[in-house]
Amino acid sequence: MSDRVVVMSEGRIEQIGAPAEVYEEPVNLYVARFVGETNILDGRVQERENGHVAAVVEGAPCALATKRDLAPGTPVKVILRPEDLWLEREQPAGERQLWLPGTVEETVYKGTTYDIAVTLDIGKRVVATEFFNEDAEKIAFFAGERVYVSWIQGWEVVLPDGG
């Protein structure tokens, strides 16, 4: 495994860095899509506050962690890897975090993980990866089940739309 990778597009360097850095902190949408599977949500910055931005993501209010200086009104893309997402059968009560409702389309068992494709009520398709744990109450999700999708706060990458 290389300790440094270069992602290029049409002969132009898009990003250079350690594999984990390029995967977890892509500098633009091209790199995010090129390196691994990704989910992309649409948002718009409302205001900036202490290393976070208050935003509307897929129509719902949400706090996003970012070091980028994004002005109010800026359209953004919220990049989430499948392992960043988690699913619940019921929306947790009393949490301030964003939960997007949807329906499981398919579940693919991969031994130690499940890949779960969900079509959100807004029409967007996302894929979540859950680790298999035979002792867990929710061993698997099945096609047709209603779920709520969220993510581990702070693991999102926020990029300007088009950047």
CATH number assigned to the domain with residue range 37-160, chosen from the 4 options 1.20.120.530, 2.40.50.140, 2.40.50.100, 3.40.960.10:
2.40.50.140
- Those residues of the chain that have pLDDT short of 50 are none
- The pLDDT, as a whole number, for residue 2 is 72
- The pLDDT, as a whole number, for residue 111 is 82
Residue 103 CB contacts under 8 Å (≥ 6 apart), including other chains = 118, 119, 121, 144, 145, 146, 147
Give residue limits of the domains in the chain.
1-36, 37-160
> Which residue in this structure is represented by tokens 């996302």?
126
